[in-house]
A and B are shown apart, each in its own frame.
Chain A
Protein backbone atom coordinates (compact mmCIF):
# COMPACT_ATOMS: atom_id res chain seq x y z
CA UNK A 1 0.00 0.00 0.00
CA UNK A 2 1.58 3.28 -1.05
CA UNK A 3 1.23 6.49 0.95
CA UNK A 4 0.30 9.72 -0.80
CA UNK A 5 2.92 11.75 1.04
CA UNK A 6 5.85 9.54 0.03
CA UNK A 7 8.20 10.69 -2.69
CA UNK A 8 11.35 9.01 -3.90
CA UNK A 9 14.30 10.38 -5.79
CA UNK A 10 16.95 8.15 -7.28
CA UNK A 11 20.46 9.41 -6.67
CA UNK A 12 23.95 8.09 -7.24
CA UNK A 13 26.21 10.52 -5.43
CA UNK A 14 28.50 9.41 -2.59
CA UNK A 15 26.77 9.52 0.77
CA UNK A 16 28.37 12.33 2.80
CA UNK A 17 30.38 10.82 5.61
CA UNK A 18 29.83 11.87 9.20
CA UNK A 19 30.95 11.10 12.71
CA UNK A 20 28.07 11.59 15.16
CA UNK A 21 27.47 10.75 18.82
CA UNK A 22 25.49 7.64 19.59
CA UNK A 23 22.67 8.18 22.06
CA UNK A 24 24.10 5.54 24.38
CA UNK A 25 27.70 6.69 24.21
CA UNK A 26 30.50 6.55 21.68
CA UNK A 27 30.61 7.73 18.13
CA UNK A 28 29.40 6.34 14.84
CA UNK A 29 31.17 6.98 11.55
CA UNK A 30 29.05 6.23 8.49
CA UNK A 31 31.97 5.12 6.32
CA UNK A 32 32.75 2.30 8.76
CA UNK A 33 29.69 0.54 7.33
CA UNK A 34 31.14 0.35 3.83
CA UNK A 35 30.33 -3.09 2.48
CA UNK A 36 26.87 -3.07 4.07
CA UNK A 37 23.61 -1.75 2.72
CA UNK A 38 22.66 1.21 4.88
CA UNK A 39 19.20 2.66 5.44
CA UNK A 40 19.85 6.10 6.91
CA UNK A 41 16.71 7.40 8.58
CA UNK A 42 16.37 11.04 9.60
CA UNK A 43 13.60 11.15 12.20
CA UNK A 44 12.48 12.67 15.51
CA UNK A 45 10.49 11.45 18.48
CA UNK A 46 7.83 14.14 17.96
CA UNK A 47 7.26 13.18 14.33
CA UNK A 48 4.19 10.95 14.03
CA UNK A 49 5.02 9.40 10.64
CA UNK A 50 8.53 8.68 11.95
CA UNK A 51 7.10 6.86 14.92
CA UNK A 52 4.88 4.82 12.62
CA UNK A 53 7.87 3.71 10.57
CA UNK A 54 9.94 2.60 13.57
CA UNK A 55 8.51 -0.90 14.14
CA UNK A 56 8.90 -1.62 10.44
CA UNK A 57 12.57 -0.64 10.61
CA UNK A 58 13.01 -2.91 13.63
CA UNK A 59 11.49 -5.77 11.63
CA UNK A 60 13.61 -5.07 8.56
CA UNK A 61 16.80 -4.92 10.64
CA UNK A 62 15.97 -8.24 12.24
CA UNK A 63 15.07 -9.85 8.91
CA UNK A 64 18.09 -8.71 6.89
CA UNK A 65 20.75 -8.23 9.54
CA UNK A 66 22.59 -11.37 8.52
CA UNK A 67 22.50 -10.38 4.84
CA UNK A 68 24.30 -7.11 5.41
CA UNK A 69 21.62 -4.53 6.15
CA UNK A 70 22.40 -1.79 8.64
CA UNK A 71 19.72 0.70 9.59
CA UNK A 72 21.00 3.87 11.25
CA UNK A 73 18.64 6.35 12.85
CA UNK A 74 19.65 10.01 12.85
CA UNK A 75 17.56 11.81 15.41
CA UNK A 76 16.80 15.46 14.73
CA UNK A 77 15.51 15.96 18.27
CA UNK A 78 16.93 18.86 20.25
CA UNK A 79 18.00 16.67 23.17
CA UNK A 80 18.97 13.08 23.84
CA UNK A 81 16.62 12.22 26.72
CA UNK A 82 13.42 11.68 24.74
CA UNK A 83 15.38 9.73 22.13
CA UNK A 84 16.80 7.35 24.74
CA UNK A 85 13.33 6.84 26.18
CA UNK A 86 11.89 6.13 22.76
CA UNK A 87 14.78 3.80 21.91
CA UNK A 88 14.08 1.69 24.97
CA UNK A 89 10.31 1.74 24.73
CA UNK A 90 10.26 0.55 21.15
CA UNK A 91 13.15 -1.91 21.45
CA UNK A 92 15.07 -0.37 18.59
CA UNK A 93 17.68 -2.82 17.37
CA UNK A 94 19.86 -0.47 15.32
CA UNK A 95 22.17 2.39 16.27
CA UNK A 96 20.73 5.86 16.72
CA UNK A 97 22.85 9.01 16.59
CA UNK A 98 22.06 12.65 17.31
CA UNK A 99 21.99 14.59 14.07
CA UNK A 100 23.13 18.12 13.41
CA UNK A 101 22.06 20.88 11.06
CA UNK A 102 25.38 20.48 9.20
CA UNK A 103 24.74 16.81 8.49
CA UNK A 104 21.20 17.65 7.43
CA UNK A 105 22.53 20.25 5.04
CA UNK A 106 25.13 17.80 3.71
CA UNK A 107 22.29 15.50 2.76
CA UNK A 108 20.57 18.22 0.79
CA UNK A 109 18.62 19.71 3.66
CA UNK A 110 16.49 17.71 6.07
CA UNK A 111 13.60 20.17 5.97
CA UNK A 112 10.80 17.84 6.86
CA UNK A 113 10.59 14.43 8.42
CA UNK A 114 10.93 11.59 7.88
CA UNK A 115 13.56 11.36 5.19
CA UNK A 116 15.37 8.08 4.50
CA UNK A 117 18.32 7.33 2.28
CA UNK A 118 19.24 3.92 0.91
CA UNK A 119 23.02 3.63 0.54
CA UNK A 120 24.65 0.82 -1.43
CA UNK A 121 27.63 -1.27 -0.34
CA UNK A 122 30.04 1.13 -2.09
CA UNK A 123 28.73 4.09 -0.12
CA UNK A 124 26.63 5.71 -2.86
CA UNK A 125 23.12 6.98 -2.30
CA UNK A 126 20.71 4.75 -4.21
CA UNK A 127 17.41 6.39 -3.27
CA UNK A 128 15.95 9.15 -1.11
CA UNK A 129 12.50 8.63 0.34
CA UNK A 130 10.77 11.79 1.49
CA UNK A 131 7.82 11.48 3.83
CA UNK A 132 6.22 8.41 5.30
CA UNK A 133 7.07 5.41 3.13
CA UNK A 134 5.55 1.97 3.07
CA UNK A 135 7.74 -0.79 4.47
CA UNK A 136 7.32 -2.80 1.26
CA UNK A 137 8.92 0.02 -0.70
CA UNK A 138 11.94 0.05 1.59
CA UNK A 139 12.16 -3.73 1.47
CA UNK A 140 12.21 -3.70 -2.33
CA UNK A 141 15.14 -1.26 -2.35
CA UNK A 142 16.93 -3.19 0.37
CA UNK A 143 16.67 -6.56 -1.35
CA UNK A 144 17.82 -5.02 -4.63
CA UNK A 145 20.91 -3.56 -3.00
CA UNK A 146 21.66 -6.65 -0.91
CA UNK A 147 21.92 -8.68 -4.09
CA UNK A 148 25.00 -6.69 -5.11
CA UNK A 149 28.02 -8.10 -3.29
Chain B
Protein backbone atom coordinates (compact mmCIF):
# COMPACT_ATOMS: atom_id res chain seq x y z
CA UNK B 1 0.00 0.00 0.00
CA UNK B 2 1.72 3.18 -1.15
CA UNK B 3 -0.04 5.29 1.46
CA UNK B 4 1.45 3.15 4.26
CA UNK B 5 4.98 3.75 2.91
CA UNK B 6 4.39 7.50 2.46
CA UNK B 7 3.39 7.88 6.10
CA UNK B 8 6.18 5.73 7.50
CA UNK B 9 8.82 8.50 7.98
CA UNK B 10 6.29 10.75 9.72
CA UNK B 11 5.10 7.86 11.83
CA UNK B 12 8.65 6.94 12.82
CA UNK B 13 9.36 10.55 13.80
CA UNK B 14 6.23 10.66 15.91
CA UNK B 15 7.20 7.41 17.60
CA UNK B 16 10.68 8.82 18.23
CA UNK B 17 9.17 11.83 19.98
CA UNK B 18 6.89 9.64 22.07
CA UNK B 19 9.81 7.36 22.95
CA UNK B 20 12.02 10.29 23.90
CA UNK B 21 9.28 11.68 26.10
CA UNK B 22 8.77 8.33 27.83
CA UNK B 23 12.53 7.98 28.33
CA UNK B 24 12.77 11.43 29.90
CA UNK B 25 9.89 10.64 32.19
CA UNK B 26 11.10 7.41 33.71
CA UNK B 27 14.70 8.50 34.03
CA UNK B 28 13.71 11.32 36.41
CA UNK B 29 12.44 9.03 39.20
CA UNK B 30 15.18 9.16 41.85
CA UNK B 31 16.82 5.76 42.46
CA UNK B 32 16.11 6.03 46.18
CA UNK B 33 12.40 6.01 45.41
CA UNK B 34 12.55 2.80 43.45
CA UNK B 35 11.98 -0.59 45.01
CA UNK B 36 13.17 -3.80 43.40
CA UNK B 37 10.81 -6.76 42.86
CA UNK B 38 12.95 -8.79 45.23
CA UNK B 39 12.60 -6.26 48.02
CA UNK B 40 8.90 -5.84 47.35
CA UNK B 41 8.37 -9.58 47.56
CA UNK B 42 10.32 -9.73 50.83
CA UNK B 43 8.19 -6.94 52.23
CA UNK B 44 5.03 -8.82 51.27
CA UNK B 45 6.26 -11.98 52.91
CA UNK B 46 7.33 -10.23 56.10
CA UNK B 47 3.96 -8.56 56.46
CA UNK B 48 5.69 -5.51 57.89
CA UNK B 49 5.45 -1.99 56.43
CA UNK B 50 2.57 -3.10 54.23
CA UNK B 51 2.06 -0.41 51.59
CA UNK B 52 -0.99 0.48 49.56
CA UNK B 53 -0.07 -1.09 46.22
CA UNK B 54 -1.58 0.45 43.13
CA UNK B 55 -1.27 -0.90 39.58
CA UNK B 56 -1.37 2.02 37.20
CA UNK B 57 -1.10 0.20 33.89
CA UNK B 58 -3.15 -2.23 31.87
CA UNK B 59 -6.35 -3.75 33.18
CA UNK B 60 -5.93 -6.72 30.87
CA UNK B 61 -2.54 -7.43 32.38
CA UNK B 62 -3.87 -6.92 35.92
CA UNK B 63 -6.59 -9.49 35.37
CA UNK B 64 -4.06 -12.09 34.23
CA UNK B 65 -1.64 -11.49 37.06
CA UNK B 66 -1.04 -8.90 39.75
CA UNK B 67 0.57 -8.55 43.14
CA UNK B 68 -1.80 -9.96 45.80
CA UNK B 69 -3.51 -7.17 47.68
CA UNK B 70 -2.80 -4.58 45.02
CA UNK B 71 -5.56 -2.53 43.49
CA UNK B 72 -6.13 -1.70 39.84
CA UNK B 73 -6.42 2.05 39.30
CA UNK B 74 -6.03 2.71 35.59
CA UNK B 75 -3.29 3.80 33.22
CA UNK B 76 -1.21 6.65 34.50
CA UNK B 77 -0.72 7.70 30.89
CA UNK B 78 -4.23 9.02 30.51
CA UNK B 79 -6.39 11.56 32.31
CA UNK B 80 -9.04 9.05 33.31
CA UNK B 81 -6.46 6.87 35.03
CA UNK B 82 -4.93 9.82 36.87
CA UNK B 83 -8.38 10.94 37.96
CA UNK B 84 -9.04 7.51 39.42
CA UNK B 85 -5.70 7.62 41.19
CA UNK B 86 -6.41 11.01 42.76
CA UNK B 87 -9.85 9.86 43.81
CA UNK B 88 -8.45 6.71 45.44
CA UNK B 89 -5.86 8.51 47.55
CA UNK B 90 -7.44 11.88 48.25
CA UNK B 91 -8.58 10.99 51.77
CA UNK B 92 -5.35 9.32 52.80
CA UNK B 93 -2.71 10.82 55.10
CA UNK B 94 0.04 12.33 53.04
CA UNK B 95 2.69 10.11 54.67
CA UNK B 96 0.86 6.94 53.66
CA UNK B 97 3.27 4.36 52.25
CA UNK B 98 2.24 3.77 48.63
CA UNK B 99 3.86 1.59 45.98
CA UNK B 100 3.04 2.19 42.34
CA UNK B 101 3.69 -0.36 39.64
CA UNK B 102 2.91 -1.19 36.03
CA UNK B 103 5.01 -3.76 34.15
CA UNK B 104 3.40 -3.26 30.76
CA UNK B 105 6.62 -2.75 28.88
CA UNK B 106 10.35 -2.33 29.43
CA UNK B 107 11.04 0.30 32.09
CA UNK B 108 12.34 2.90 29.67
CA UNK B 109 9.15 2.61 27.58
CA UNK B 110 6.53 2.61 30.33
CA UNK B 111 4.15 5.54 29.86
CA UNK B 112 2.29 4.99 33.12
CA UNK B 113 4.34 5.03 36.31
CA UNK B 114 5.97 8.44 36.00
CA UNK B 115 2.74 10.41 35.45
CA UNK B 116 1.16 8.52 38.34
CA UNK B 117 4.17 9.21 40.54
CA UNK B 118 4.06 12.89 39.60
CA UNK B 119 0.35 13.07 40.41
CA UNK B 120 0.93 11.74 43.91
CA UNK B 121 3.85 14.07 44.44
CA UNK B 122 1.71 17.02 43.39
CA UNK B 123 -0.95 15.96 45.91
CA UNK B 124 1.69 16.10 48.65
CA UNK B 125 2.36 12.42 49.22
CA UNK B 126 5.81 11.97 50.70
CA UNK B 127 6.17 8.23 51.08
CA UNK B 128 5.76 6.85 47.56
CA UNK B 129 7.91 4.24 45.93
CA UNK B 130 7.80 2.86 42.40
CA UNK B 131 8.35 -0.81 41.70
CA UNK B 132 11.22 -1.07 39.27
CA UNK B 133 10.19 -3.55 36.57
CA UNK B 134 13.03 -3.73 34.05
CA UNK B 135 11.35 -5.78 31.31
CA UNK B 136 7.72 -6.59 32.11
CA UNK B 137 5.62 -7.98 34.93
CA UNK B 138 5.78 -11.50 33.56
CA UNK B 139 9.55 -11.67 33.35
CA UNK B 140 10.47 -9.71 36.46
CA UNK B 141 7.74 -10.82 38.87
CA UNK B 142 5.73 -13.87 37.80
CA UNK B 143 8.64 -15.84 36.34
CA UNK B 144 10.66 -15.17 39.49
CA UNK B 145 8.04 -17.03 41.50
CA UNK B 146 6.89 -14.04 43.52
CA UNK B 147 3.32 -14.08 44.89
CA UNK B 148 0.72 -13.56 42.19
CA UNK B 149 -3.05 -13.25 42.08
CA UNK B 150 -5.49 -13.29 39.16
CA UNK B 151 -8.79 -11.62 38.39
CA UNK B 152 -10.17 -8.49 39.95
Residues on A facing B (Cβ under 8 Å): 5, 44, 46-49, 51-52, 54-55, 58-59, 62, 76-78, 90-91, 93, 99-101, 104-105, 109-113, 130-132
Contact = CB atoms under 8 A, between A and B. Distances in A.
B136 A112 contact: yes
Given A47-B109, A112-B135, A78 B59 contact: yes
A75 to B, nearest CB: 9
B104 interface: yes
Contacts of B19: 48, 52
A39 to B, nearest CB: 16
A118 to B, nearest CB: 19
Interface in B67-105: 75, 77-78, 103-105
B110 to A, nearest CB: 9
A112 B4 contact: no
A56 to B, nearest CB: 9
B106 interface: yes
B60 A78 contact: yes
Interface of B: 1, 3-5, 7-8, 11-12, 15, 18-19, 22, 58-61, 63-65, 75, 77-78, 103-106, 109, 111-112, 135-139, 142, 150
Contact of B60 (A54, A58, A59, A110): A110
Contacts of B22: 48
A104 to B, nearest CB: 5
Contacts of B4: 55, 58-59, 62, 90-91, 93
Contacts, number: 105
Name which of B22, B78, B109, B142 has the most chain A CB atoms within 10 A of its CB: B109
B109 A48 contact: yes
B8 A55 contact: yes
Given A93-B4, A109-B65, A131-B106, A51 B18 contact: yes
A46 B111 contact: yes
B75 A46 contact: yes
Interface centre among B78, B111, B136 (most CB of A within 10 A): B136
